Amino acid sequence: MRIVLVVLFCSMAFCVVRAQNAEVLLEDLSQSEGFSVHDLEEMLQTRSNLNAATQEDLELLGFLTPYQVASLLDYKNRYGLFFTWQEVLLIPGFSEEDTELLSLFFTLEEVKKSGKPGLQSFLKEGKHALLLQTGTFFPRGTEYSPITQQEYAKKPNSRYLGLPWYRYARYDFKLRNKYRWGFVMESDPGERAFADFISCHIQASELGVLKTLIVGDFRARFGQGLLLWNGTQFGKASSVGALCNKEMGFTPYTSRDENRFFRGVAAAFQYKILSVDVFFSSRALDARVTEQGFTSLDQTGYHRTPLEVQKKNALKAYVAGVHVSCKGYNWKIGVTAVGYGYDQPDAGTVTYYNMYKNRTLPFGGMSADFGLRWRSLRFFSEAALDLGKAPAVVAGVIHYGQDGNHSGLLLRYFSPRYTAAYG
């Protein structure tokens, strides 16, 4: 009995230490590479098999250098599938920390043979994940304290409409990394609705030339982010590798952030080296709307007071775009076009920081991006022009040393009149 207790205690201690190490690694990753909490949360949900990972899958992680990606793929081509994470440590350029980080985003489970899935496959092979979260806090502020009807009539926004409880639910279903659907429901403390924010998506992948199809909420990240990138801009991080944004294309939206996503349909087609990505989005935004139009966007995500509820979904936004690219083993060129508009005119106050902003239709622009890996160098660039003919350019080069020492150069130019609401 004592031996069993000792084994259980040691196992629990190992799990706790491993969890703490994972938290430290993720915290370091968020600080060095510029990943937000929402981005890491989204990436951790989409764990796939390392043995089935492509060069693009590895590059999307952001923290692996081109040398590490090439070394891992070369090792897999020479020696076959990975069975344990200890094998990854044998790959040149991989430290114990790199291997542990990789294990957070990939698994070594057996790869299921792809075929036409039936009802039995969905029932047996499909993976379900459900996360429920709630919480409250003490002490509570005056926003939750009792108030008389007379006082509330004078100051209706001095009290919150809902209970001081946070509510969150997330469900995710995946089958062979080919089919996926799920939803997210969330309410912040003080919000009256049981589910103030609701997001859902359905995704199908690798259906012939149709590489990805998403219906519902999704993100779109192309080029270096000058024109189309509703996610974290990794170029603002402190590490050299983060100077270059990693293009991710269309991905389903599973975050609890209520702002950085599209709602509609996205489709990615691929034939050999040619790729065509198209999307359309129509969603309501929180905004302050007057008789003249909308004066400002509200991106807090809070709907706790009558004033905040009044701003909820007050503005309709429409976005459509296309990205055409050709991609080889170590190069990529692409062209992006985006157009967007609102159902209300922009009636915001003109100040010193937005005096050059384009306020009249049409909104949108075009851009061209280029990327090349040559030996230990990575070249990247994007040039954009909005419909007001205002330019923006970003270009850079990164040198990845095998000893872990990296260096980079980034050049950026933005016209004061350049406008890109989704870049």
In this predicted structure, the answer to whether residue 14 has a pLDDT above a threshold of 60 is no
- For residues 210 and 98, state if they share a domain: no
**Where among 88, 109, 130 does a domain terminate?**
109
Residue 169 domain-assigned? no
pLDDT for 221 equals 95
CATH number of the domain that residue 27 is part of: 1.10.150
In the block, tokens 């094998």 appear at 87
pLDDT digits (tens, 9 = 90+) for 269-290: 999 999 999 999 999 999 999 9
Q: How far apart are CA 304 and CA 188, in angstroms?
A: 8
**Where among 109, 141, 171 does a domain terminate?**
109
Report residue 93's pLDDT band, with 50, 70 and 90 as the boundaries.
Answer: confident
pLDDT for 380 equals 96
3-state secondary structure 230-242: CCCCHHHCCCCHH
Contact call for residues 224 and 376 (beta carbons, < 8 A)? no
- For residues 211 and 332, state if they share a domain: yes
Contact call for residues 270 and 209 (beta carbons, < 8 A)? yes
**Where among 75, 90, 109 does a domain terminate?**
109
DSSP state for residue 344 in the 8-state scheme: S
Average the pLDDT over 101-119 and give the result: 71
Contact call for residues 174 and 204 (beta carbons, < 8 A)? no
Report residue 120's pLDDT band, with 50, 70 and 90 as the boundaries.
Answer: low
How far CA 28 is from CA of 31, 36, 235, 239, in Å, comes to 5, 11, 16, 11
Q: How far apart are CA 181 and CA 234, in angstroms?
A: 27
In the block, tokens 């070249």 appear at 379
Q: ∠ CA 107-111-114 to the nearest 5 degrees?
A: 135
In this predicted structure, the answer to whether residue 235 has a pLDDT above a threshold of 50 is no
Contact call for residues 345 and 293 (beta carbons, < 8 A)? yes
**Residue 133 β-bridge partners:** 168
pLDDT digits (tens, 9 = 90+) for 350-370: 887 777 777 777 789 999 999
Q: Which residue spans within 222-330 are E strands per DSSP?
A: 249-252, 262-271, 274-285, 287-289, 294-297, 315-327
pLDDT digits (tens, 9 = 90+) for 130-180: 999 999 999 998 999 999 999 999 999 999 999 999 999 999 998 877 899
Residue type, 271: Y
pLDDT digits (tens, 9 = 90+) for 292-351: 999 999 999 999 999 999 999 999 999 999 999 999 888 999 999 999 999 999 888 888
Element of type H or E holding 277:
strand 274-285
Residue 138 domain-assigned? no
Q: How far apart are CA 128 and CA 380, in angstroms?
A: 39
Percent of the chain with pLDDT over 70: 83
Percent of the chain with pLDDT over 90: 52
Average the pLDDT over 98-113 and give the result: 79
Tokens of 84: 């344990």
Tokens of 150: 């007379």
Q: Please give the residue range of the domain that contains residue 405.
A: 205-423
Report residue 126's pLDDT band, with 50, 70 and 90 as the boundaries.
Answer: confident
Residue 222 domain-assigned? yes
Task: Say how many domains are in the chain.
Answer: 2
pLDDT for 44 equals 63
- Among 63-77, 80-94, 207-221, 387-401, top mean pLDDT goes to 207-221
Residue 233: Cβ within 10 Å count: 14
Element of type H or E holding 152:
helix 149-154
